[in-house]
Amino acid sequence: MSTTLRAFSAVALVLTVIGGMSALTAPVAAAESHQVNPFLGATQYVNPLWKAEVEAEAVAQQSANPSLAAQMRVVENQPTGVWMDSMGAIAGPSGGMGLAAHLDAALTQKTSAPEVVNIVIYDLPGRDCNALASNGEIPATAAGLTKYQTSYIDPIVAILSNTKYSSLRISAVIEPDSLPNIVTNSGVAACQTAGPFYEQGIEYALNKLHAINNVYTFLDSSHAGWLGWPNNSSGAATEFAKVANATTAKFASIDGFITDTANSTPLVEPFITGTTTVNGTQAISGTFYQYNPDLDEATFTADMYTHLVAAGFPSGIGMIVDTSRNGWGGSARPTAASTSTVVDSWVNATKVDRRPHRGAWCNASGAGLGNFPQATPSGYSASHLFAFIWVKPPGESDGSSTLIVNNQGKGFDRMCDPTYAPPGAGWNGALTGALAGAPLAGQWFSAQFVQLVTNAFPKVGGNGATPTPTALPTPTSSASRTPTPSATATVRPSVTPVPSATATVRPSVTPVPSATATPRPSTSATPVPSGTGSGTAKCAATYAISSSWGNGFNANVTVNNTGTVATKTWKVTWTWGGNQAITNSWNAAVTSSGTAVTATNAAFNGVIAGGGNTSFGFGAAFSGTNTNPTLVCSAT
């Protein structure tokens, strides 16, 4: 089908659907009390614009692949989020649908059951403060904050407050990526400037939205690949509590939290846990996980829930997960753990997440639809899940794979370029894994949608429901805890193309483990072996710079048990040969006295089996020449 004919068919279907709506009479329902879980017992709003896009794709696939077309027609009836990503999106583009039009359409869809409409609040001053090319429309200034309040939040609140819509349950996802940027990107100048406006803007939005009885607020808490490290997730909970306590209703102003918004982190990694070992070495020490113990959203939501309650949120707080593209099914999905004894090889062959790096966010090659939207999915009791929902409309591009000149203000982000090799830590020369041939952000991307349906997990055409979680393997390690990097060791820039007027999308973003500017590869990353400690237990340590930039760098130290007797404790010492100073560390207690440095094991990694190893890391600043030190390791 030609592009012109396909577009005409989609528009015709939308006109037919919307025209049919006007002939219907919305059921009359009295306003209900505010629910704990708005998704329970409810249906969710299906966006007719997105449905028309999917139907047009199904028509285009019908002749060549009728089975695929049939699967698409199952998918087209799923609810997706409506993005208020600009002030113009509130009223809607000419010939399109604004917020009120979507709510009117939801009233016509509503049956005797409650109806949930998922909207995304997304236009903070200085939005995407750590982006390579932020597409926010409001500046991070005092005047910008006033504009956000009066020209963005207030008009949305005026529409949602209309008693006409009081029978709808309106689920509002609040400002993706904003507060997580405050947690991990405090060293970025733009985030230092924008941070206070993020907090004040969200406080204002929560106060206004919470006052509307049928509106439910869900604060974005990023995903496992960004805040999964314990220091990051606990730091995020503290930040969320700070913002909640600034509101009039305190913790009650937030109904829950959402994770994996517009991202593709798997719900469950079926064959790996945070304590799994490979030949005596922790699997999470590999390049892909970088000691992050939260491998998937099931683990991350459970950990985040625990931190939230510890920070003061009520135990009834709930989590929702965006499962629109985190299925990772298809023929490439592993069916068992690898037999390799090399950590990186084992991880790459065992994980269902097929991305080259957890920071790969744009039009991810190999991704599939995840669990269909569903309330209170079973099997995740520790996560306190309210629902799976589809915030990101599947099939809408995250950004163009090549530079496309346009008058929509949409820049070219090279994370969407399949030929680009990002320089950040852990990429090791890998390409982005983005699909080729992608159009501008928000435009329909046929190849992506075909892939998402083909690689859906669970497969479309069964019952479309949540699969029973696969039993995780019994860990082969006796470790009781997983290593804990500090929050400053994980920086996650958010790169967001501006969505089109009729298909608002906010793509996910890219974590880069460096504390300040974009790291460039170090020229001195060759490990430097240490001496061997004396006594019954023996150890050796190797030093490697993982990333460096300007006058700063990150380094990893691997501690190897070179004997046959398990260590109880270990210590690594060295003396700087240049002008270096450690700024932060993780997985070890690191102290300095002048140029002398001592690192001793943490409580959870002092025991190393014979032939095994553990690691710790640190960030540091330097001036002059950054020479590698000679390490001395001792153990008991």
DSSP β-bridge partners for residue 400: none
**Backbone torsions φ then ψ of 634, nearest 5 degrees:** -135, 150
Query: Tell me, what DSSP letter sits at residue 381?
Result: G
Let me know if 353 is a catalytic residue: no
Tell me the C-alpha distance between 57 and 76, whole Å: 10
Q: Are the C-beta atoms of residues 295 and 282 closer than 8 Å to each other? A: no
DSSP state at residue 43: E
Is 398 catalytic? The answer is yes
- Identify which of 176, 156, 155, 161 has the alpha carbon closest to the alpha carbon of residue 218: 176
Phi, psi of 556 (to 5 degrees): -115, 140
Beta bridge pairs of residue 539: 561
Token readout for 470 is 């696969």
Closest CA to 408 of 86, 90, 129, 143: 86
Tokens in use for 84? 């208020």
CA-nearest of 232, 196, 129, 191 to 584 is 232
Give the other-Cβ count within 10 Å of 247's Cβ: 19
User: SS3 for 325?
Assistant: coil
Retrieve residue 543's tokens. 């030093």
| Residues 567 and 541: beta-carbon distance below 8 Å | no
**Using N-to-C axis directions, what is the helix angle for 66-75 and 48-61, rounded to 10°?**
170
Whether 553 contacts 545, CB under 8 Å: yes
- Contact yes or no for 119/46 (Cβ under 8 A): no
Tell me the Cα Rg of the chain: 25
Per-residue HEC secondary structure of 138-207 comes to CCCCHHHHHHHHHHHHHHHHHHHCCHHHCCEEEEEEECCCHHHHHHHCCCCHHHHHHHHHHHHHHHHHHH
Q: Which of 123, 260, 322, 398 is catalytic?
A: 398
Half-sphere exposure of 584 (CA within 13 A, CB side): 18
Q: How far apart are CA 82 and CA 586, in angstroms?
A: 40
Question: Do residues 337 and 274 make contact, with C-beta atoms less than 8 angstroms apart?
Answer: no
Tokens 């400037």 locate to 193
Task: Report which DSSP code applies to 506.
Answer: -
The residue written with tokens 């001036």 in the block is 623
Which of 177, 260, 303, 353 is the catalytic position?
177
Phi, psi at 105, each rounded to 5°: -65, -35
Angstrom CA distances, 635 to 366, 561, 570, 607, stand at 45, 9, 4, 10
Q: In what order do the strands lie in the sheet with 588-593?
A: 588-593, 596-601, 570-575, 632-635
CA distances from 252 to 167, 219, 414, 489 (A): 21, 12, 41, 32
CA of residue 280 relative to chain centroid, distance: 30
Q: Which helix (H) or strand (E) holds 544?
A: strand 539-549
Other beta carbons less than 10 A from residue 124's beta carbon: 30
Active centre residues (catalytic): 177, 398
